[in-house]
Amino acid sequence: MPSLTRRDFARRSAITGAGVALAGSVGALATAPGALAAQDPEVAGADAPDGLDAYDGHGHGHGAPGYGPLLPDPEGLLALPAGFSYRVITHSGRTKLDTGEFTPSHHDGTAAFEGPRGVTLLVNNHELGGPRTKAKFPVPLTDGLVYDPAAAGGCTVVEVRRGGEVAEWVGVAGTATNCAGGSTPWGTWLTCEETEDRAGQNGMTKDHGYVFEVDPYDRRANRDPKPVKALGRYAHEAVVVDPRRGHLYLTEDAASPNGLLYRWTPPHGFRHGRGKLRTLADDAGVLKALKCYDSGGRFVDDLARATRIGTVYGVDWVEVEDRDARTVPVREQFDTGAVTRARKLEGMWWGDGGTYIVSSYARAESPEQHDGQVWFYHPGRRTLTLKVLLGVNTDPGEDGAYDGPDNITVSPYGGLVIAEDGDGVQHLFGATERGRTYPIARNELNAGTPEKPSYSEFTGVTFSPDGRTLYANIQTPGIMLAIRGPWRRQRP
């Protein structure tokens, strides 16, 4: 596909009314309490069209979306709406693997796969970094599944059977800081290392900062783990696969300078499939970084500059020179003005013909501050559209506003479900297709004191293949939860 130049995008935007038609064709997706764009009548609900409920931009109004208020949990774990229930699937230090070791800690990115005879298979990342000797519940070094015996992280596979029985085993071990990742159209999980540690750093014996493929169906396919070096070595967060074009998109959670969004194009003639990525040469395909232009054709240096929902940027891609970062980290290889950056690039999820991309927050290191963005990249139009924009949450200890979106999934009931990784109170919350948010769950497990409460982030939000169960994790100490209830289609 030829490059989309700044002149091309400016011309296209002029034809479509400076991006308005482009934004309208994609549709504004979500705001939240405290959203910077809450004054926008189309988003906030003022002068709402006939048939839609009025909305004040703060979660109030007749016919508000969602399932009602969250009710306190007598067990002190998870507040849910009336009619909903939860079940603990795994709990670090309490439940055990089929080999007898305790479930590892620090649950993170998760994906669900349909197994035989009503079984659900979940691949669960464990975000354990640093020397293995410092981890209380590391991923066990299962014979044949270890990349670096000095590293504590990895993935486990959790099997939930129709009768409720649970089994868990190691998918990959000896990896580091396994944060998010992504499922593939061919039924595997790509786990991402959010680190740049080299051999000799933090006790590591091998280089880290790679993507590994884990097969939840075939334990033998996971033997002799091999990093997919063609996807680059940097602080990986999440990855998605374009099922039509074969491209992989990857986020980088890093600062000084801020991280990048990448696109990997497979080599000519390559066909995706189970285990095929690990057969690639280290320099196979082409890895490029995001470069954006506004509707006037001006270069955009940082995604934080967008302060209004519906902002549309044109997208080009700039090739990475040294994807293995032998001497210089990948994000530092670009001159000023060469690429577009963003702080805390986090979760991604493929849906609606493109990928949703989270920027968790921006502070002094960015040109504008916010407490969360969700973007949508449309590969056919080659546009990036701002769908969610959260203003800075000035009182995160108060229940009501959301901040720090992280893991994300597209809901089978419409819109998005987002895991909160902010300050203070932590939620799972939904966002409808027309800019309204609603709570789904609240973490009530206080890891602090009554005077200074502390709540761990939610991670690994994903629906079961049949859409009946929402799985999510409380990262610390490491608890996987299955949430069920009267799910229903959310009014747009």
Among residues 246, 212, 207, the alpha carbon closest in space to that of 226 is found at 212
Residue-level pLDDT at 436: 76
Q: Is the pLDDT of residue 25 over 70?
A: no
pLDDT tens, residue by residue, 434-447: 667 899 999 999 99
Amino acid code (one letter) for 196: E
What confidence tier does 15 reach under pLDDT thresholds 50, 70, 90?
very low
pLDDT tens, residue by residue, 217-251: 999 999 999 999 999 999 999 999 999 999 999 99
Contact indicator for 67, 437 with CB cutoff of 8 Å: no
Q: How many CB atoms lie within 10 A of CB 54?
A: 13
Choose between 164 and 210: higher pLDDT. Answer: 210
Q: How many CB atoms lie within 10 A of CB 88?
A: 16
Residue-level pLDDT at 56: 33
pLDDT tens, residue by residue, 342-364: 999 999 999 999 999 999 999 99
- Please state, in angstroms and as integers, the Cα–Cα distance from residue 413 to each residue in 131, 182, 213, 434, 478, following that order: 42, 21, 29, 14, 27
What confidence tier does 6 reach under pLDDT thresholds 50, 70, 90?
low
Q: Is the pLDDT of residue 36 over 80?
A: no
Residues 273 and 188: their CA atoms lie apart, in Å, by: 9
What confidence tier does 46 reach under pLDDT thresholds 50, 70, 90?
very low
Strand partners, 28: none
Among residues 406, 433, 378, the alpha carbon closest in space to that of 108 is found at 406
Q: Is the pLDDT of residue 488 over 80?
A: yes
Amino acid code (one letter) for 272: H
Q: Is the pLDDT of residue 215 over 90?
A: yes
Tokens in use for 247?
């491209």
Residue-level pLDDT at 61: 42
Residues 410 and 16: their CA atoms lie apart, in Å, by: 28
pLDDT mean over 384-404: 91
Tell the residue number behind the tokens 């690990």, with chain if given.
278
pLDDT tens, residue by residue, 304-340: 999 999 999 999 999 999 999 999 999 999 999 999 9
Tokens in use for 267?
């080599």
Contact indicator for 303, 341 with CB cutoff of 8 Å: yes
pLDDT tens, residue by residue, 416-437: 999 999 999 999 999 987 667 8
Q: Is the pLDDT of residue 18 over 50?
A: no
What predicted TM-score, i.e. pTM, was given to this entire model? 0.90
Contact indicator for 41, 312 with CB cutoff of 8 Å: no
The residue ranges of every structural domain in the chain are 31-94+392-492
pLDDT mean over 141-164: 97
What confidence tier does 400 reach under pLDDT thresholds 50, 70, 90?
confident
DSSP notation for 24-79:
HHH------TT-TTTT-HHHH-TTPPTTS----SSS-STT-SSS-PPBPPTTSSEE
Residue-level pLDDT at 5: 52
Min mean pLDDT across 20-34, 133-147, 182-196 is at 20-34
Residue-level pLDDT at 27: 33
Amino acid code (one letter) for 282: D
Q: Is the pLDDT of residue 456 over 90?
A: yes
Q: Is the pLDDT of residue 276 over 80?
A: yes
Min mean pLDDT across 26-35, 135-144, 301-310, 449-458 is at 26-35
- Please state, in angstroms and as integers, the Cα–Cα distance from residue 349 to each residue in 2, 20, 108, 210, 488, following that order: 25, 25, 15, 19, 21
Choose between 27 and 96: higher pLDDT. Answer: 96
Tell the residue number behind the tokens 């996987």, with chain if given.
480
Average pLDDT for the chain? 89
What confidence tier does 143 reach under pLDDT thresholds 50, 70, 90?
very high
